[in-house]
Amino acid sequence: MEQIISSGLEELGLTAQVPEDAPAMLSRYGQRLLEKNQVMNLTAIREPEGVARLHMLDCAALLKYCDFQGKTLIDVGTGAGFPGLVLKTLVPSLDVTLLDSLNKRLDWLDETAQALKLSGVRTLHARAEEQALAKGFRDSFDFAAARAVADLRVLCELCLPYVKVGGKFLALKSTGSDEELAGADHAVRLLGGQVAAVEDYAIPGTGVTHRLIVIEKLAPTLRGYPRRWSKIQKQPL
């Protein structure tokens, strides 16, 4: 796994900007993931090569498009720590908050961050739509990120409220998201954002291309958003 990650980082042109031990650390992370996945559902990918390429390198590709040095990021619905914990491993100065509604996932992430000797990692057990209303979280982060299958309109309402003006929401999607992106235009503008970039990138060694949608925060999110989860689901913006 370590060699696959090392070669992939080189192919992405990232070797010079990440710590020398990053491939080894991400390999340890991946091994811990596969071990824990035997007793807890963390990923549908069960082979080391798949974890290395479709999780670690997929997340690492974000470094090609964003400067995370010394910034703050909240990973909304982090699951097994993607992309937040991968980015933290590659950019040690990044301050990361991993938010999820399942405590057992967060316990494992805490243990993994400690095993990798990563500081500046906070796990948070909460619902995204509720925590976004809290002082110190709303309009507060340089970046919010989500790597989820949910509709972009839903993700925008859950994530954009966390982002400070001038910051960015990073949505990791498939390349077949053109219609979804067009349909989210109203939600993006209503929540204070603007689509700044749409970047398609190839994941080394896979033949797979994924998409990063970058939404810049231009104005504070209006009061009343995010709404209750039932309303977000039933009536997307």
Q: How far is CA 227 from CA 54, 86, 156, 190, in A?
A: 33, 30, 12, 13
d(CA 67, CA 26): 20
The answer as to whether 198 is a domain residue is yes
> Please, is 16 exposed, middle or buried when counting C-beta atoms within 10 Å of its C-beta (0-12, 13-18, 19+)?
exposed
Confirm whether 173 is domain-assigned: yes
Dihedral class, residue 201 (left if φ above 0, else alpha if ψ from -120 to 50, else beta): beta
Q: State how many domains the chain has.
A: 1
Domain presence at residue 5: no
The CATH code of the domain that includes 129 is 3.40.50.150
74 within some domain: yes
The predicted pLDDT at position 92 comes to 97
Residue 216 lies in a domain: yes
Query: What is the 8-class DSSP label of residue 116?
Result: T
Query: Which among 45, 13, 29 is positioned nearest to 204, based on CA atoms?
Result: 13
Query: How much is the pLDDT for 148?
Result: 81
Looking at residue 23, its amino acid is P
For the full predicted model, state whether its pTM sits above 0.85.
yes
| φ, ψ for residue 55, nearest 5 deg | -110, -65
The verdict on residue 62 lying in a domain is: no
Residue with tokens 């995204």: 128
Tell me the mean pLDDT per 10 residues along the chain, length 237. 97 97 98 95 94 97 98 97 98 98 96 96 97 95 93 97 98 95 97 98 96 98 96 95
Contact 25, 92 (CB under 8 A): no
Asked, for residue 189, whether it belongs to a domain, the answer is yes
Return the pLDDT at 132. 96
Rounded to whole angstroms, the maximal C-alpha distance in the chain is 48
Domain that holds residue 122: 67-234
Question: Would residue 46 count as lying in a domain?
Answer: no
